[in-house]
Amino acid sequence: MGLVVRLYDAIVGDLRRALESLKRGEVERRTSSLNHALLIIAELESVLDHERGGQVARRLAGFYKVTRALIVEANARASSSQIERLIALFLPVRQAWQEAEKNFTGEEIHTRKPRRQTAASSAPEQPRSVWSV
């Protein structure tokens, strides 16, 4: 599974922990979980490649901006419905990333041309970044 999908899983996990903490009245755990989700979102946003990513990068930046604000609001209001809404927002985007990674991996396997083996080409190939959106 790709890094971006794992980061989305971490965000959803943080939101679910925050929701459980809210139900149990655990303010410190709720806040910690939401703050962790905010850190991951900030990292995802910081690595967007706006030049190569074009409209997709702009839309993701907007999505991250809105969800950050919703997380802050959910924490301030101790709103379980807001946290549930955030989970519902992140799950389809996570699914889209998972599909994109599957398609990218499958396409790369089927379109990669064999390289002539040389001393230089026997070194491990540098992985492509999934951050260039």
Architecture of domain 3-107: Up-down Bundle (1.20)
- Two tokens, residue 100: 């994109």
* Domain assignments of the chain as residue spans, ordered by start: 3-107
Residue type, 112: R
Where the chain has pLDDT below 70, the residues are: 1, 106-133
| pLDDT (tens digit per residue) in 61-98 | 999 999 999 999 999 999 999 999 999 999 999 999 99
The SS3 of residue 20 is helix
- DSSP H helix total and E strand total for the chain: 4, 0
pTM exceeding the 0.85 threshold for the entire prediction: no
- State whether the Cα torsion 48-52-53-55 is positive or negative: positive
Ramachandran bin of 83, using left for φ above 0, alpha for ψ from -120 to 50, beta for the remaining angles: alpha
